[in-house]
């Protein structure tokens, strides 16, 4: 799981535990919105490959670092 998503889930969990009413409202919203398409203005597009293209000579080192992180045992 990506770090950003993990952080968001931790925030969600903390909010749910801190305010029961807020948690109930969030659950209601989630249920109502589950079949709706996300508006294109709210979608986040990743541009990892473009980033590497802009970095020039540094791209190979960054790719190798990313590969090592992805293959490290016990990390998600």
Cα–Cα distance for residue pair 17/68, rounded to 1 Å:
36
Taking Cα atoms as reference points, which of 38, 11, 12, 9 lies closest to residue 23? Answer: 12
Q: Which residue has the higher pLDDT, 30 or 67?
A: 30
Q: What is the pLDDT of residues 47-59, one digit of tens each?
A: 665 555 555 556 6
What global pTM score does this model have? 0.38
Average pLDDT of the residues in 20-24: 87
Structural domain boundaries in the chain: 1-37, 45-76
Q: Report the length, in residues, of the chain.
A: 76
Cα–Cα distance for residue pair 44/15, rounded to 1 Å:
24
Cα–Cα distance for residue pair 22/11, rounded to 1 Å:
13
């Amino acid at each position: 799981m990506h770090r950003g998503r993990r952080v968001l889930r931790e925030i969600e969990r903390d909010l749910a535990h801190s305010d029961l009413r807020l948690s109930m409202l969030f659950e209601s919203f989630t249920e109502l919105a589950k079949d709706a398409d996300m508006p294109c203005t709210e979608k986040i597009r990743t541009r990892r490959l473009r980033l590497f293209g802009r970095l020039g000579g540094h791209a190979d080192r960054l790719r190798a670092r990313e590969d090592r992180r992805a293959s490290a045992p016990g990390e998600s």
